[in-house]
Amino acid sequence: MKRTAVNILTLFIVLFLNSCICRYPVTSSKYVLNNNSEHLITIYTYKSDTISNTIILSTGDTKEYSFAEESSFNSLLLSWGDSLLVTFDDTISIKHYRTNEQVSQRPLFFRESWTGGLVNEHKEHYNYIFTESDYQEALEYHNTNKNL
């Protein structure tokens, strides 16, 4: 009888501890860059002031990043490094930083700059759409900071 009580208590403890373990559902995430501007866009990703990758988007192009894990937006950001240089037509550029000090009005590093969201409990889909306004912002920044 004592042994049965110990076995039941042990089983109860194992079940209790197992139910307390936090499990996060696998989330499928898709992040899409869209170039809806009339300009060639080149995005240089920087890690420690060194170019680590280049993303090229011709007019109408898209580039998808997919993840099947929790914290996928952070995975996207980590793959991009600590800053981005978005260049239009190989001449006009604007920098996007991971910090709150920004030049761009819609920094790629901020989820708020992306449209979309949860599709269902385990799936999210976000879009960043480059438009003519992004080019105009970079052009204005370029024209006011020529001497920097």
Report the pLDDT value the prediction gives residue 84, as an integer from 0 to 100: 93
Residue 49 lies in a domain: yes
Largest CA distance in the chain: 88
Number of domains in the chain: 1
Report the pLDDT value the prediction gives residue 137, as an integer from 0 to 100: 96
Residue 89 lies in a domain: yes
Report the pLDDT value the prediction gives residue 55, as an integer from 0 to 100: 94
State the Cα–Cα distance between residues 64 and 30, nearest whole angstrom.
Answer: 7
Residue 6 lies in a domain: no
Tell how strand 28-35 and strand 123-130 pair up: parallel
Locus of tokens 């996207």: 76
Predicted confidence pLDDT, tens digits, the chain (148 residues) = 666 655 555 545 555 545 545 555 557 888 899 999 999 999 999 988 899 899 999 999 999 988 776 556 666 766 788 899 999 999 999 999 988 888 899 999 888 999 998 888 888 889 999 999 999 999 999 999 875 4
Residue 43 lies in a domain: yes
Q: Quick count: other Cβ atoms within 10 Å of Cβ 14?
A: 10
Residue 116 lies in a domain: yes
Report the pLDDT value the prediction gives residue 1, as an integer from 0 to 100: 60
Question: Can you name the residues that pair with 30 across neighbouring β-strands?
Answer: 66, 125
Residue 76 lies in a domain: yes
Residue 9 lies in a domain: no
Residue 13 lies in a domain: no
Report the pLDDT value the prediction gives residue 103, as an integer from 0 to 100: 87
Report the pLDDT value the prediction gives residue 145, as an integer from 0 to 100: 85
- For 40, the domain range is 25-144
